[in-house]
Amino acid sequence: MDSETSGFSDGMTGLSSADLRQITALTEAPSKLEPPLALLTGRGRHLDDATLLHLMTALFTGREEGSAELSHTLSTRFGSLAAVLSASSRELESITNMGTHMVPMIRLLQEAALRYNRARLPPEDVLDSEQKLLDYLTARLARENIEQFRILFLNEKNSLIADEAQARGTVNHTPVYPREVARRAVEVGASALVLVHNHPSGDPTPSEADLQMTMQVQAALDVVGVTIADHFIIGNGRHTSFRCSNLL
């Protein structure tokens, strides 16, 4: 990971106006939502990925015909329901017979999942439940196919002030500017930061560049009196905590 940067975003996935128009059109046509809702009946019934994906395709395309083939194609291409929900719009649009509504509805489900996991974070101290924090970070980053560097800005009680994506990079590095990180921390009034980035390879082992970048960011933060509470690297089903690994 290089020590350079490219500014901040609000950190949300975001739905375009075109996506919202397509979602509205689907929800305003109740007849398209009928098949096969019977799959959801039965208290406590467990639905596997294949069944849920089949249900999604039938609902979002508004047709039962062809939904089994489409769900099988998606499952074969991406491997799991979670991977489908995390796929990029470009990847999804490359699949034939997706119809008009599938991509924006998948984006909507992804956004809902992210907000659900964020809402589960402890309101007073996000570091108080590492598992809930990791659930949120994993939902946001684990299946990204390029490296992304994010920052969680915390107040003096370790409550979350903001979660922002600073930069998106390539498959193996993201540029980060330590001085920009420090400047943004001062702007939002943060007392501590949690640095987060993913390794698209799936292996969360820190590289030498990751270690150097972390030290450079901490040096810049020392000037403004802000600390790094932790640095997480998110892999595929695995993670590394710099704090727990005694790397901070």
pLDDT digits (tens, 9 = 90+) for 65-75: 788 899 899 98
For residue 45, pLDDT over 70 is answered with no
Whole-structure pTM value? 0.67
Rounded distance, CA 84 to CA 77, Å? 9
- Looking at residue 11, its pLDDT comes to 45
pLDDT higher than threshold 50 for residue 4 = no
Give the pLDDT band of residue 117 (cuts 50, 70, 90): confident
Q: What is the rounded average pLDDT for all residues in the chain?
A: 79
Sheet strands side by side (includes 160-168): 160-168, 148-154, 192-198, 227-234, 239-241
